[in-house]
Amino acid sequence: MQKEPEQTTQAEPEIEQMSFSDLGLPDAVLRSLKQLGYETPSPIQAKAIPTVLDGKNIIGQAQTGTGKTAAFALPILANIDLKQTSPQALVLAPTRELAIQVAEAFQVYARYMKNFHVLPIYGGADMRGQLRSLSRGAHVVVGTPGRLLDHLRRKSLKLDQLKTVVLDEADEMLRMGFIDDVDTILAETPDTRQTALFSATMPDRIRQIAKRHVSDPVLIKIAAKTTTVDTIDQSFVIVNQGDKLDALTRYLETQETEGIIIFVRTREATVTVAEKLSARGYSAGAINGDISQPMREKTIARLKKGSLDLLVATDVAARGIDVERVSHVINYDIPYDSEAYVHRIGRTGRAGRLGKALLFVQPRERRLLGIIEKDTKQKLKAWEKPTAQQLADQRKTKLAEDLAARIDNTVPDIYHKMVIDLCAALEQPAEQIAAALLSDKFPLEQIAPPPESKKPRRERDDSRGERGNSRERGNRRDSNDRDSRGRDGGRERSPRRDRGDKNAIPFEQYRIEAGRDHGAQAKDIVGALANEAGLDREHIGRIELNGDHSIVGLPPGMPKDIYQLLQKVRVKGQPMQLSRTGNAEGNRDAEPRKKPSTRKPRSDSSRSGNDERSDKKPRHKKSDFDGDKRKAKKPAKRKPETEG
Ligand code: AMP
């Protein structure tokens, strides 16, 4: 008979004050958290870390965005015996992408744990490479159920030394049809193991699994504070991480603003976002837990006085700020829970004034938005990001209004005389003089912007800070993300065709000197490109397999070093000898870009093996090669309304 789960559902105030060093984590881990700029544990972390460190089993009801990965990864790292190389922790993840993200998170948190190895194991990747990596040993294995089961059957994965098992996104496992595999894997793990199960929802089947495999669990569910705030007009926008700054500046331009508080998650982000806003002409400052109290107070005083308009802050640093002129709160990074949301937006709408709050939600965080709406018992309005053309029209309207007001107030005669003198001196009509003055005030792109692409932007998160670009990928639940044993049964497909968005990125065609005659299949080519060039599957276009060669679509602007690297990479023993066919859909860069984009070589432990890979080769940052030139565009500098 199982005991009733011990429930810890209150988000007590002291949790907010807690720091990571109160949680009993080792120095090496604390050091990396400090470096990452994490100020305080999120509620799920504050509850889960001490409980897991205590050796207890937990069931955590938490969604993406709550900080659940660190909630299990940090205490697991604290308990790792680095001398023992057989797996001590196993994390089961529903998708290949989530497995990679979680493995990357472990790697980052374990930055100062010398010789620590984490190994992602997922379907679709080269088996021989995984076998080799497994035989070299790993302290933590993160994998998708199907492939883990394959390794268990082959006896290449031994779980007898396992101390902890984590079931991440259990409801997703169920949704994707992996739950029986999970059941089988859990049955093969030692009875003595500790188990942590995380799920956003708790359907019956997950409860059954929990009942069977998670004995005496501590149930961790962060209670929601449901205070409604009716003096605040609240809205949200779904936006990718890399588009947030643009969305923010467009939002600010459409609003009548006074003081604005922008909430971000890390100390680093306070500084970088404030810097970027300053570079765009806003008067912005940052406060975070690293900045001394007197300095923070000084900055807040400037916000109060109006010599500063935008304050970028972490939750800790902004606690208790009471500044009447705060007209807007921007949740640049989504808060961990509803309570933090209510607390944040409460910085506006003070002293009987009306305030506005905007919440940025990354596509993968939609669930958290739902929770906030449910807990605060209200629907947030969707804010539509204005197009560049709408902004331009608005600027013109505003200019007309401003001029009308100015003309009404009579412009001093001296200016009329100046115009007359200029017309005479330059022998130009007044219209020319006015046009020249306006062109100085408004850069061309602000008044006549180039048409914006109507192509749907892929849902991606391209600046997930320390975890690199892959965080978002893990939450795209499309068929390609599935484990090879998922509902698709591991069918080999061309990723682009499957996604049905083949127009999203223009591709250039490349010839590879390996084809059917060499036994090459599309998956071998995808594997080699993914592992060597660091390309996402969705950045690999249609693959045409011919007898002695294949044709593959790749994003434009391939950096030269990757191009050279891909000459030698082998597919079925054949060097690729990549060459451009000259056929391209869309963009045609004449030659590969000169500037190499280098990614820090990943440590051996976090790689998936591709058999043909040489361990010494450099790895390349995906974002640098995904041809996302939209981000590279320098936004126009303008003098926003918030100034002056
Ligand atoms: P997760 O819910 O695990 O997907 O994490 C969501 C995001 O929050 C990730 O980008 C983490 O790096 C970030 N994060 C997690 N915990 C913290 C923390 N205590 N402080 C700041 N950022 C965090």
pLDDT tens-digit series, residues 535-549: 766 678 888 888 889
Lowest-pLDDT range, 389-398, 504-513, 518-527?
504-513
Q: Is residue 67 in contact with ligand 1, taking CB distance under 6 Å?
A: yes
Q: What is the band of 95 on the pLDDT scale with cuts at 50, 70, 90?
A: confident
Given a cut of 80, whether residue 352 has pLDDT beyond it is no
- Residue-level pLDDT at 9: 37
Residue 66: Cβ within 10 Å count: 26
- Topology of domain 483-589+601-628, CATH: Alpha-Beta Plaits (3.30.70)
Cα–Cα distances in angstroms (integers) from residue 396 to residues 87, 125, 393, 446, in the given order: 64, 55, 5, 10
What CATH architecture applies to the domain 232-382? Answer: 3-Layer(aba) Sandwich (3.40)
Q: What is the band of 144 on the pLDDT scale with cuts at 50, 70, 90?
A: very high
Ligand 1, atom 13, lies closest to the CA of 67
Residues 397-441: tens digit of each pLDDT: 989 998 998 888 888 999 999 999 999 999 999 999 999 999 988
- Please report, for the chain, the start and end positions of each structural domain, with discontinuous segments joined by +: 6-221, 232-382, 388-447, 483-589+601-628
Span from the CA of 45 to the centroid of ligand 1 (angstroms)? 10
Given a cut of 60, whether residue 140 has pLDDT beyond it is yes
Residues 588-640: tens digit of each pLDDT: 333 333 333 333 333 333 333 333 233 333 333 333 343 333 333 333 333 33
Residues 190-208: tens digit of each pLDDT: 999 999 999 988 889 899 9
Position in ligand 1 atom list of the atom nearest CA 20: 19
Indicate the top mutation candidate among 42, 106, 107, 240 to test ligand 1's pocket, ranked by most ligand atoms within 8 A of CB.
42
Cα–Cα distances in angstroms (integers) from residue 584 to residues 328, 467, 546, in the given order: 46, 33, 18
The domains spanning 6-221 and 232-382 adopt the same CATH topology: yes
Span from the CA of 241 to the centroid of ligand 1 (angstroms)? 14
Q: Is residue 68 in contact with ligand 1, taking CB distance under 6 Å?
A: yes
- Residue-level pLDDT at 605: 35
Given a cut of 50, whether residue 490 has pLDDT beyond it is no
Ligand 1, atom 14, lies closest to the CA of 67
Given a cut of 90, whether residue 366 has pLDDT beyond it is yes
CA distance 250 to 267: 24
Q: Is residue 38 in contact with ligand 1, taking CB distance under 6 Å?
A: yes
Answer whether 0.85 is exceeded by the pTM.
no
Q: Is residue 61 in contact with ligand 1, taking CB distance under 6 Å?
A: no
Please state the rounded mean pLDDT for residues 303-316. 94
Span from the CA of 67 to the centroid of ligand 1 (angstroms)? 4
- Residue-level pLDDT at 163: 97
Q: What is the band of 247 on the pLDDT scale with cuts at 50, 70, 90?
A: very high
Lowest-pLDDT range, 40-49, 301-310, 486-495?
486-495
CATH of 6-221, one of 3.30.930.10, 2.60.40.290, 3.40.640.10, 3.40.50.300: 3.40.50.300
Given a cut of 90, whether residue 302 has pLDDT beyond it is yes
Cα 281 to its chain centre, rounded Å, is 26
Indicate the top mutation candidate among 265, 272, 273, 314 to test ligand 1's pocket, ranked by most ligand atoms within 8 A of CB.
265
286, containing H or E segment: strand 284-287
Q: Is residue 267 in contact with ligand 1, taking CB distance under 6 Å?
A: no
Q: Is residue 265 in contact with ligand 1, taking CB distance under 6 Å?
A: yes
Span from the CA of 65 to the centroid of ligand 1 (angstroms)? 6
- Residue-level pLDDT at 142: 97
- Backbone torsions φ then ψ of 595, nearest 5 degrees: -70, 115
Q: Is residue 364 in contact with ligand 1, taking CB distance under 6 Å?
A: no
Ligand 1, atom 8, lies closest to the CA of 67
Residues 67-92: tens digit of each pLDDT: 999 999 999 999 999 999 899 999 99
Span from the CA of 47 to the centroid of ligand 1 (angstroms)? 15
Span from the CA of 454 to the centroid of ligand 1 (angstroms)? 32
Please state the rounded mean pLDDT for residues 552-578. 81
Q: What is the band of 491 on the pLDDT scale with cuts at 50, 70, 90?
A: very low
Residues 206-222: tens digit of each pLDDT: 999 899 899 999 999 87
Given a cut of 90, whether residue 109 has pLDDT beyond it is yes
CA distance 239 to 279: 22
Span from the CA of 19 to the centroid of ligand 1 (angstroms)? 15
Residue 479: Cβ within 10 Å count: 13
CA distance 204 to 38: 35
